[in-house]
Amino acid sequence: AKGFSRGIEEIQLTVSVVIPESGDLNWGGIEGAKVTQYPLNSTGKRVSYLDCFTTQVGAQYTVDNEAKRDITMNALRRVEE
The confidence score (pLDDT) of residue 8 equals 80
Q: How far is CA 61 from CA 22, 29, 38, 56, 80, in A?
A: 17, 20, 25, 15, 32
Closest CA to 11 of 50, 57, 39: 50
pLDDT level of residue 1 (50, 70, 90 thresholds): low
pTM of the model: 0.81
Mean predicted confidence (pLDDT) in 44-73: 96
Higher pLDDT, 43 or 64: 64
The confidence score (pLDDT) of residue 5 equals 78
Query: Can you give the residue ranges of every domain in the chain?
Result: 11-80
| Chain segment 65-80, per-residue pLDDT in tens | 999 999 999 999 999 9
Of 18-22, 41-45, 60-64, the one with minimum mean pLDDT is 41-45
